[in-house]
Amino acid sequence: MIKILVAQCEQEISSFNPVPSQYEDFTIHWGEELLEANAKAETCIRGALEIFRSRPDIAIIPAYGATACSAGPLSRPGFERVARELVTAVREHAHNVDALYFSLHGAMGAEHELDPEGYLLEEASKLLGRERPIVMSLDLHGVLTARMLRHCRGLAVYHTYPHADFVDTGQRAARLLLRVLDEQVRPVVARVVVPALVRGPELMTKTGVYGEIIRAAQLLEREEKVLAAAMMIGNPFTDVPELCSQAVVVTDNDPGSAQMGAKNLAQDFWA
């Protein structure tokens, strides 16, 4: 039996909002509550659960979920409590699972921690060890950092704005994780940073030029060696050191193809 741990921590912040968000602004789910809350919701977790539940040899171990609406930076006490609870929940099961699916947003920010997702991934990785994979899902407005990539095996990113593919993104993340477990694929990640922060109607993926780049990423994902591809535009209001737009491509042990794919996406986006 393959045991997959499921965790969630999602919030998007504006560094320029003068009112900090607090722990009380989060909706918290422990254990089975996390599954119940996402059973019929338009969420990445629901999508991942659908894939995992299609396999009789998979046991889902729900750990912890914390979600909040867009707001000001999370206060230090607020983040420390969320982080402590999440790490405690992961630690409880870490000895008895094979992998972790982690549903994140990517544009969090706390008063004292400018890379909350990186911190949480790092702590989870310490508990699970490098041999047990972590795969995450992210908003295309997320700020993907080097620290986040060091402590996960792969990722899936939204392909729509306005966002309409939460469930699909969770499904893609789950499939990637299962390929790591079943096929022993060896994900390698390439990313190319674009020095631009963009807003406006051209970001509507159905009608704007950004949609052309997203569709190019989706075409890449159909290639056998490509495990994931995305063009992330960050959140201009999450004012942190690694904020940028960036192309990201994950391949199965093919760094050259990953780098070429990410470079092509970035060049098209820049143009």
42-87 pLDDT, tens digit per residue, is 999 999 999 999 999 999 999 999 999 999 999 999 999 999 999 9
Q: What is the pTM of this model?
A: 0.97
What is the per-residue pLDDT across 115-167, written as a single tens digit (0 to 9) for each?
999 999 999 999 999 899 999 999 999 999 999 999 999 999 999 999 999 99
**Angstrom distance (rounded) from CA 215 to CA 230:** 9
Tally of CB atoms within 10 A around 162: 8
Q: Which of 141, 154, 150, 40 is nearest to 101 (CA)?
A: 154
- Cα angle: 206, vertex 208, 211; to 5 degrees: 60
Task: Please give the class, per CATH, of domain 2-270.
Answer: alpha beta
**Angstrom distance (rounded) from CA 137 to CA 120:** 14
